[in-house]
Amino acid sequence: MKILKFTLSGRNAFFKKPDVNSILYYSYGNIHKVALLGLFGAILGYDGYNKMKFHNQNIKNKKNKKEEGIIYPEFYDKLKDIKISISPNNEGYFEKKVQVFNNSVGYASKEQGGNLIIKEQWLEYPSWDIYFQVCDEVSESLANSILNRKTIYIPYLGKNDHIANMENIKLFKESDIEILKNCSNIDCLFKENMFVINNYDEDDESDEYDEDYDYTYVPKFKYQERLPIALESQTNLYIMQKFIFTNMNLKKTEDIDIFKIENKNIVFY
């Protein structure tokens, strides 16, 4: 197994929350797995939601659309099994600003003048280290495209207004990767059920001063949010799960591998 890492960033990003019924559209605080797979699909030239909807309209008279093999959009169907990890290059909270602009195509609104004022919540200067496992033909093709900086479509951060920057691309071989069974610090977003936060060190019962220990105080932070982790097969709606990103001490609750790459401990999902 190999692991490819790159830094994903941009001036802005917008990962729309679908459960908002207003003219103010909110964004998730971080890129999530489904959005990341969409970016990968753009790189490889896979079809998205629009092509799927068009195809479904053509077979709407079929009693069972599964007969045509159409369940997911192509990018998700081809890439859903890729194991990824997302490591924010801050404390998990990117600054958000509301952007206001007009939609004046005429049919956008029934108001006088046909002008609709849209408000969107954009992330400011987001940046993540992205990792994915390279272990099959599809992931090999994706890794080669990224390493050679070749894309079929332009990758963007949730919306085509926000072009994605992909830098610091590295491919790690098995000899470069250390697998840990236990670790108290995780440097990426992880699913809530993977770890619990340790409020104290149960093994440290000594009050003696240790000259070799670094006692420099490091402020603690904790980001958590329900993010999309997958698509539901019948409706293609998001399947949600709570994710956490923190520098607090953690205790593993599941039998999962922790991967140490360079100076970061990460988990895949």
Residue 24 or residue 228, greater confidence:
228
Per-residue confidence band for 68, with pLDDT thresholds at 50, 70 and 90: low
Q: Express as a percent the part of the chain with pLDDT over 70.
A: 81
For 2-266, CATH gives 3.30.70.2660
Q: Express as a percent the part of the chain with pLDDT over 90.
A: 64
Average pLDDT over residues 54-70: 50
Residue 72, pLDDT above cutoff 80: yes
- What is the Cα–Cα distance from 58 to 66, expressed in whole angstroms? 13
Most confident of 51-55, 65-69, 112-116, 144-148: 144-148
Residue 69, pLDDT above cutoff 60: no
pLDDT at 219: 84
Chain centroid to Cα 146, Å, comes to 17
Residue 22 or residue 162, greater confidence:
162
Phi and psi of 266, rounded to 5°? -130, 160
pLDDT tens sequence across 209-239: 455 545 566 788 999 999 999 999 888 899 9
pLDDT at 5: 98
Residue 190, pLDDT above cutoff 80: yes
pLDDT tens sequence across 26-43: 999 999 999 999 999 999
What pTM was computed for the model? 0.85
Residue 154, pLDDT above cutoff 50: yes
- What is the sign of the dihedral through the CA atoms of 18, 19, 21 and 25? negative
Chain centroid to Cα 178, Å, comes to 23
Average pLDDT over residues 60-73: 58
Domain boundaries, the chain: 2-266
Average pLDDT over residues 165-193: 93
Residue 106 or residue 223, greater confidence:
223
Per-residue confidence band for 172, with pLDDT thresholds at 50, 70 and 90: very high
Q: What is the DSSP string of the chain?
A: -EEEEEEEE-SEE--B-SS--SSEE-B-SS--HHHHHHHHHHHHT---HHHHHHHHHHTTTSS-GGGGT-SS-HHHHHHTT--EEEEESSSS---EEEEEEEE-SSSS-SSTTS-EEEEEEEEES-EEEEEEEE-SHHHHHHHHHHHTT--SS--BSSSTTSBPEEEEEEEE-GGG-EEES--S---S-EEGGGEEE-SS-TT-------TTS--------EEEEEEEEEE-TTT-PEEEEEEEEE-S-EEE-S---EEEETTEEE---
Residue 206, pLDDT above cutoff 50: no
